Structure 1
C-alpha cells in the first residue's frame, strides 16, 4: 500500500490520555526531531550525527516520496514521538519481503523522557498501531493497513519486547542497509487480529474467534474437499472400491461415479500409471436419493465419506472412532494451513524460490531450507489420515506443529547413569558430544543445579526431552522417577529448534551446523504412538557407522554424491517400572533421544537444501514446487528429471542390488541439494530405525537387528513400493498435470536409470537386471505386488505394523503394472 493516505489528524485515547498523530512539517519539526535523534536512546536509528538542516532535508525527502511519510505524535498536545510509515513493496524491503496487499511498514522514535511516565512507550505503541491498522476515512482516520511490518535491529531488545507486546511475530532475520548503516534485522509482522489480541490491543476483533480462527466454514469447506479428493484417489488406488465412468447425460468425459448405500459421489478425475488418480476437489458432488423429489445435494464431508465407505473399508468397529479422530485432526490442521497460506504467514512457491535464490551464506541457506520445511502442507502423500497428532491441544499445535515454523527450546533432564545408556559413534566421546551440544555455561549450570540438590553430577547423563513430553508424560507418567531423583529436571537449553515434518525431529536454528535432535513424543500420529525405543537406540550409532562406511567406501555412491546423515549419539532411560513389566509396552518408548548430523556444513557455494517432500507440494494457488523448480532451472524437463533420478533413484538401486540394503526413502527422509534449481545430490536420513538388510550377508553382531531376509520379489518392493508407488507416481502425476512432462517419457527415464546402472556395472550384471548379492532382483519386471498403506492403518489405527516383523504385517491388493517394465508395449490407463 502507499502512504500517506490522508493529511488529517488521527486521534485516539490511551491510558495516559489523548494521543494525536499528524503529518510532520520539516521546517517546523526538524530541530525537535534532531534533538531526539541525537539522544543515546535513539542509537539504533543511526542518525545521531545529523545536524538540524540535514534532519530537515531528510524529513522533506520522506514527505516528498510517493511511498512513505513521517508523522508527529502528541500526548495531550505535547510532541512525544515520531513515526514513519512506508510501503514495503517499494521502500526498504522491496527486494527481501514478499509484501501482501495491505502491508504497511512502520518505524517509531519515542522522545527521550524529560519527566518519565510509567507506560509511556506502551501508550505510544498502542496509538501508532491503531493509526496504522484503522481504516482510512474522510474525516480523519488511520492508514487502513491489514498488516504492519517492522524490521528492528536484532540487538535492540527493548523494541523487540515492545513489538512482542503489540503482537508482532518474527518471520526471519535478514541483512538490511550498507556500510555504516547496515544492520541485521528481525523482519516481523502483526495483523489486525494479532494486535487486537496482544497485550496492547483491545481484545479480539468483532466477529473473530481468537481461539480457533482457522475453523471457519470456508477453510473447512476447502479442507473437506481436499481430503475427500485424496480419499477417493488413494482408496481407489488401493482397490478398496472401483469408481465407474459417469454415464449420466451431460457428464464430462473424465467424470466418474461412486454409488454407495443411498449416497452417490460424482467427480472428475484423471488416471495415470500405477493406477494413480488425480481427483479435482472442486468437482466433487455428493447426492442422496430422496424418492419422488429426485437427488438432494449434500455437503462434501470427508468424515461422512469414510462413514459411508465403512462397509468397504472394513475398519474394525472398535477402532473406527480413533480413525475418525485422526481424520478430524487432519481436517483441523488442513484448515489452519489454509489460513496461514492465505494470510501470508506461509510463503508461496514463488516466495520459497525467492528465499532460496537470494540466500547468501550458510545461515541464509539454512533459513531458506527451514522456510521450505515449514511450508509443506500435505503430509504423507499416500495416507489419508496423515496429520492425526492425537494428544496435541490447540496451543500445542500452534507451538509444535511443523507447519507453524515456530521455534522452541528443548528441556533437559539429568538421568541417573546406572539406568541410562549413552551410545556413541566410533568417532565420538561423551565429553566431546556434550561439549558440542551444550555450552560451557549450560553444563556448569546443570552441574550446579544437581549439586544444589546434594547430587553428584558425575552420576548423571543429560537427556533432552520435548516440552510437551515433559508436561504430559515425564512429570506425570514418570513422577516416581522424578521424585526419587533418577530423573532431575534441569530447565530449558539455550538453543532454539524448529520441528521438522516428522514432528519429533528438531533442527537447530541457533546453530544450524549442529546436530538435529530426535526425541520421543508420545502422541498418536498416522497409525503409531511416536515414541523412541531405548532398546533400539543402543545400536543406532553402530548401525549408522556401518551404513556410512559402506556409502563412503563405495565409488558408485560417491560419484552420485549420495550420502547419509549419521545418527552419532543416542540415549535412553530404562530405570522406570515399565521396563520391568512382563510384556513390552508403549511406556518403554517415552524417554530416549538421538542426535543426527546436520546437512548445513556440507553445503558448497551456491548450493541450497530442500526436503524431498517439497517436490510433491502445491501452494494455496495450486502452484507446484516441482514445476516451479523445473522452470526456474532453465533446462529441459527431461534433463532436470534425469538429474533428480541420478541423485535419488540410481543410488537406491545400487544399494539394493549390490548390498541388498534398503532405506525408507520417502519425502521426509531425503534432503535434496540443489544448485540453480537442479538436483545435484541426495542426502538420506533416519538411518537407525529405517534401514534394513534384506539378505544374509555378514553383519557385525551389534547391528544384526537390521537384517530381515526376504525373497527376491519382496526385495524389489524396496524400490517398487517405496520409490515408484510412494514417491514417483505422485511426482509423475504433478508434472503431467502441469504439462511439464508426459508420464510415458517420465517412466521411460526411470527405466533408463535402472538400465544405465546395469550397463555401468557389467562385472556384476546378470540377466533379469539383478546385481551383486541381489541376483534375482528384477526392477524391470512387468508387474509387482501392490502393497497398500491405508489398508494397514485401517486395519489397526493404533499400530499399523509390528516393527519387529514388518514384512509379515504388509497387506497386498494384487499386482500393479510396472510403468518402467521391459514389456514391448506398455498400455497406460487414463
Structure 2
C-alpha cells in the first residue's frame, strides 16, 4: 500500500467544496496534530497530555512501519483530518480477527469543530476518505476498530454503511470491529439522501463536558418548562390536588382559568377546554404566571415548590422528587434538540425509529423521566430517546447461586445457542477455562453494561473474588433500549428475543430490579396463560397475543438473601428473555408502540392523525378497527377469564397493516398479569397470580388503565388536532362494548355486576402514589393496599347505555 511522498487526491463535492489529501509531514504537521489530540473530543485517540516531542516520535515511528501510511486531508486548504491507513495482516489487530484478502484498516481524527462548519461536515469527510481508500483496486473491505465508548464514531460509520461486528479486548482499549464492503459502499453512494440515523448519534456523548449540556439552551429550557407546567396543571387538577378557577367563559367550550399557589400572590392563568374525565385541554401559549401582579418567567421546578402544600409533598421527600422533575426537564430538552422525524415522516418509519422518537414518556406521571443513577454520559448511551445501540455484557454465574427457568422445550443450552453464536460461546468458555474453571459449572447471564459498572462490580465483589461470578465480556449483537429502558431490542437480529435486565436506577417510583420471586415462575405463567387464552375463538379472532417471557436467569447474592424477595439488593442480577414482536407479525404488518398514538412532534403536530390519514379510512372506521384490536380482547379477558393486565401505551405493541390497527401484542406479563376470582383454578406455583381485590375496584382495570390512562389523552388529541368530537369518540367506545356484550349474552349477570356503563367510577391517582412514596409506590404483594383514590370520575360512556340493558344493582 505504500504511496509516494506527498501524493495528492482531489475531489469536489457539490454544495460542499473541495477536499484533498496529501502525505503527513512529521516536521510541519506534528504541532497542529498536538493541538488536536489534546482536545476533549480526542480522548479516544489516546494521546492526551502528549508533548510535541512525543507526537513527533510517535509519528516518525508510524511512518517507518511497513504497510502503514499517514495522510492529511484538507478542506478549503485547511487541515480537516488525519488519516492512518494500514494493512491488518501486519498489525496487532490480526490476532483478534481473521483478515481477508483486500482488507485495509484505517484510523481517523477530525480537526476540532469551527464556527463556520457546514452541516454534515464529518459525513462528507468520511465519504471522501472512503472514496480515497477504495480507489485502490486491491482494497475491497475497510476495517475500523474504535473504542466501544466512542458512540460518535459508531453512528458515523453506520451512516456510511459499515456493518458492526464483534467486540474485542485490545491491550489498550475495548474495541468494536466494523467492516465496510466496497460493493455495499458503492451501492449506498448511489442514494442521494444522507443516511442519517439520529442527530444525537452525530454527537460525542461520552467525554465532552460541553456536549453533556449542549441541549440546555435558554429558548429550549423555556419551552420544556412551559410544557411541563401545562402537564402539571392538567394532571394535578385531574387528581384533585389543585383547583383552577374559571374566570371567563369563552367561545366553543373554551374558558379562562386562574390558579393560586400556596402563597396567594402567585397566580397562574391559562385558557383551556374542559373535556371528559376531568381533563383540561390547555392552550400552551396562554399559560402565564404573575407574582403580585408582575409577569414572571415560567419555571417548572419553582412551580412544584410553590404548590408543595397543595400537592401534599413531605418536606423530606421533596428534594428527591425535585431531582426527578429536573431530570425530566433535562430529558425533555434533549428530545427537543435531538431532531426527531416530523410526524409526516414518522408515520412511515420502522418500529425502532418510532420507538426512539417518542418524547412524552408516561402521559400521566409528571416526574416520568427521573432515571436517578444515570449520569449525562449514561443518558446518551442508554436512554431510548438517544437512539444509540450498544452491546450487552455477559457474565457467568456458578450454578450454586445461579438459577435458570424456562419453557420445557427451551433448555438452557438451546437458548444460549440461539442467542450467541458458536465462536462467542467458545470464547466465553475459554475465559472460564483460562481461570481454571469448568464451563459446565456456570450459567451465562446477559447484563446491562450500566448495571455491571455501577452496581455489580462493587456490590458483588465477594462473588467475583471467589469466582462464583465471572465477567466474560461483551456479546457480539447490538441492542437498543425500548421505552421501558431496561427492555432491550436486538437490532443485529430482530427476530431474536427481547432481553430484559435488572437496571438499578430509580425511575417513576421504583428501583428497576428483577426479582427471582417472579422470574422463576415467568415461563410457567406464559405457558398457563397461552393454554388458557389462545384456544379461545374470540382471542383468535382479535389476533390478541402476549409476548411471553419464555426464560430467565437469576443470581442469588447470599449476603442479602435473608432480607426478603423484594429487597432491592436481591433484584440486581437477573435477566429474562421475551418473545420478539418481529417473530409475531406477518409480512405486510408493522409493529409500533401504542404510545405513539399520543405522540406530538417538535412542531406541535400529532402522529395519530397521520396514521389515520394514510390508512385511507374515515376517523370513525379507523377507531372501530382500533377498539376491536385493543379494547375487545381486554374486555374478553376480564369478563370471560377474570384476568387483567397492565395494558398502558408502552406495554402494548400495536400491529398495523396499511396503518390500520389489526391486533395487539402485550408485554410485561410476569409482574402485572392478575387473576381476580378465587374460583379460577391456578396451579400451585402460580398462586401469586390471584389478587384479593375489592369488588368496587376490579373494574378499574378498564376504567383506570384504559379509559382514564389512555383514552383520555387519545380523545383529547383527536379533539385538538382533528376537531373530532370527544362525544363521538366515547360513543364508538360504547359501541365496541355493546358489540362484545351482544356477542356473549351468557355473561349478562357479570356485565351487570361489573357495569361499564355505570354513571361514575373511583378516581385512582398515579401522581398521588408517587408523591406519597417515590421509591416504592405500591406493595407488590398487595397491589391494591396503597392505591390513592380521590373522588369520582363521571363515566363518559354512561349516556350511551342501551335501553333494556341490565344496570348494576344498588
Decide: shared fold, TM above 0.5: yes
**Which of the numbers 340, 343, 347 marks the counterpart of 2:341?**
347
Distance in 2, matches of 1:116 and 1:127, equals: 24
Distance in 1, matches of 2:351 and 2:200, equals: 28
Distance in 1, matches of 2:671 and 2:721, equals: 36
Distance in 2, matches of 1:785 and 1:156, equals: 64
* Cα shift readout 1:470-492 (whole Å, capped 9, x = no counterpart): 00110111111111111111111
RMSD: 3.8
Distance in 1, matches of 2:476 and 2:162, equals: 21
CA, structure 1 residues 815+171, in 2 after alignment: closer, same or farther (shift >3 Å)? farther
- Do the aligned partners of 1:606 and 1:675 also contact (CA within 8 Å) in 2? yes
Could you say which residue in structure 2 is the equivalent of 1:780?
757
**Which of the numbers 331, 335, 357 marks the counterpart of 1:375?**
357
Secondary structure (helix, strand or coil) at the match of 2:277 reads helix
Please tell me whether residue 534 in structure 1 is matched to residue 536 in structure 2: no
Could you say which residue in structure 1 is the equivalent of 2:274?
271
Secondary structure (helix, strand or coil) at the match of 1:799 reads coil
* Matching of residues 405-444 of structure 1 within 5 Å: 405-444=387-426
* Cα shift readout 1:368-410 (whole Å, capped 9, x = no counterpart): 1000000001000000000000000000000000101111111
Could you say which residue in structure 1 is the equivalent of 2:20?
73
Distance in 2, matches of 1:196 and 1:723, equals: 39
Gaps of 5+ in 1: 1-15, 25-61, 79-112, 137-141, 290-294, 356-367, 771-775
Distance in 1, matches of 2:696 and 2:160, equals: 49
- Do the aligned partners of 1:269 and 1:280 also contact (CA within 8 Å) in 2? yes
- Do the aligned partners of 2:643 and 2:675 also contact (CA within 8 Å) in 1? yes
- Do the aligned partners of 2:392 and 2:447 also contact (CA within 8 Å) in 1? yes
- Aligned-pair distance for 1:786? 0.6
Distance in 1, matches of 2:7 and 2:201, equals: 22
Could you say which residue in structure 2 is the equivalent of 1:168?
156
**Which of the numbers 805, 808, 815 marks the counterpart of 2:792?**
815
Could you say which residue in structure 2 is the equivalent of 1:215?
216
* Matching of residues 221-240 of structure 1 within 5 Å: 221-240=222-241
Secondary structure (helix, strand or coil) at the match of 2:624 reads helix
* Matching of residues 592-603 of structure 1 within 5 Å: 592-603=574-585
Distance in 2, matches of 1:442 and 1:479, equals: 25
**Which of the numbers 734, 744, 747 marks the counterpart of 2:730?**
747
CA, structure 1 residues 171+822, in 2 after alignment: closer, same or farther (shift >3 Å)? farther
**Which of the numbers 772, 775, 779 marks the counterpart of 1:802?**
779
- Do the aligned partners of 1:512 and 1:598 also contact (CA within 8 Å) in 2? yes
* Cα shift readout 1:519-556 (whole Å, capped 9, x = no counterpart): 00000001110111012111111111111222211110
* Cα shift readout 1:101-155 (whole Å, capped 9, x = no counterpart): xxxxxxxxxxxx999884306668984679999788xxxxx86767846777999
- Do the aligned partners of 2:516 and 2:565 also contact (CA within 8 Å) in 1? no
Secondary structure (helix, strand or coil) at the match of 1:332 reads helix
- Aligned-pair distance for 1:759? 0.7
Secondary structure (helix, strand or coil) at the match of 2:313 reads coil
* Matching of residues 709-720 of structure 1 within 5 Å: 709-720=692-703
Could you say which residue in structure 2 is the equivalent of 1:363?
none
Distance in 2, matches of 1:145 and 1:700, equals: 59
Could you say which residue in structure 2 is the equivalent of 1:365?
none
Moved more, 176-185 or 271-280: 176-185
CA, structure 1 residues 237+567, in 2 after alignment: closer, same or farther (shift >3 Å)? same
Please tell me whether residue 389 in structure 1 is matched to residue 371 in structure 2: yes
Distance in 2, matches of 1:374 and 1:488, equals: 33
CA, structure 1 residues 315+479, in 2 after alignment: closer, same or farther (shift >3 Å)? same
CA, structure 1 residues 76+824, in 2 after alignment: closer, same or farther (shift >3 Å)? closer
Matched positions, count: 697
**Which of the numbers 467, 485, 500 marks the counterpart of 2:449?**
467
Could you say which residue in structure 2 is the equivalent of 1:738?
721
Distance in 2, matches of 1:555 and 1:190, equals: 42
Distance in 2, matches of 1:179 and 1:589, equals: 44
CA, structure 1 residues 194+20, in 2 after alignment: closer, same or farther (shift >3 Å)? farther
Could you say which residue in structure 1 is the equivalent of 2:683?
700
CA, structure 1 residues 819+178, in 2 after alignment: closer, same or farther (shift >3 Å)? farther
Distance in 2, matches of 1:166 and 1:135, equals: 24
Distance in 2, matches of 1:593 and 1:259, equals: 47
Distance in 2, matches of 1:198 and 1:714, equals: 46
- Do the aligned partners of 1:607 and 1:673 also contact (CA within 8 Å) in 2? yes
- Do the aligned partners of 2:460 and 2:557 also contact (CA within 8 Å) in 1? no
- Do the aligned partners of 1:265 and 1:285 also contact (CA within 8 Å) in 2? yes
Distance in 2, matches of 1:628 and 1:556, equals: 30
* Cα shift readout 1:757-814 (whole Å, capped 9, x = no counterpart): 111122x2315725xxxxx221121111110000000000111111111111111111
- Aligned-pair distance for 1:617? 0.5
Distance in 2, matches of 1:485 and 1:632, equals: 57
Distance in 2, matches of 1:165 and 1:180, equals: 17
Could you say which residue in structure 2 is the equivalent of 1:760?
743
Could you say which residue in structure 2 is the equivalent of 1:259?
260
CA, structure 1 residues 637+700, in 2 after alignment: closer, same or farther (shift >3 Å)? same
Secondary structure (helix, strand or coil) at the match of 2:478 reads strand
- Do the aligned partners of 1:496 and 1:508 also contact (CA within 8 Å) in 2? yes
Please tell me whether residue 402 in structure 1 is matched to residue 402 in structure 2: no
Could you say which residue in structure 1 is the equivalent of 2:56?
none
Distance in 2, matches of 1:178 and 1:169, equals: 16
CA, structure 1 residues 562+796, in 2 after alignment: closer, same or farther (shift >3 Å)? same
Moved more, 391-400 or 296-305: 296-305
- Do the aligned partners of 1:263 and 1:286 also contact (CA within 8 Å) in 2? yes
Secondary structure (helix, strand or coil) at the match of 2:234 reads helix
Could you say which residue in structure 2 is the equivalent of 1:322?
320
**Which of the numbers 471, 476, 489 marks the counterpart of 1:489?**
471
Secondary structure (helix, strand or coil) at the match of 1:370 reads helix
Distance in 1, matches of 2:379 and 2:620, equals: 40
Distance in 2, matches of 1:411 and 1:781, equals: 51
Could you say which residue in structure 2 is the equivalent of 1:632?
614
Gaps of 5+ in 2: 26-63, 82-109, 135-139, 164-180, 804-810
- Aligned-pair distance for 1:168? 3.0
- Aligned-pair distance for 1:825? 11
Distance in 1, matches of 2:523 and 2:565, equals: 26
- Aligned-pair distance for 1:619? 0.7
* Cα shift readout 1:154-179 (whole Å, capped 9, x = no counterpart): 99544796996698364596999999
Could you say which residue in structure 2 is the equivalent of 1:288?
291
Secondary structure (helix, strand or coil) at the match of 2:391 reads strand
* Cα shift readout 1:254-277 (whole Å, capped 9, x = no counterpart): 221001212000011121111111
Could you say which residue in structure 2 is the equivalent of 1:563?
545
- Do the aligned partners of 2:21 and 2:73 also contact (CA within 8 Å) in 1? no
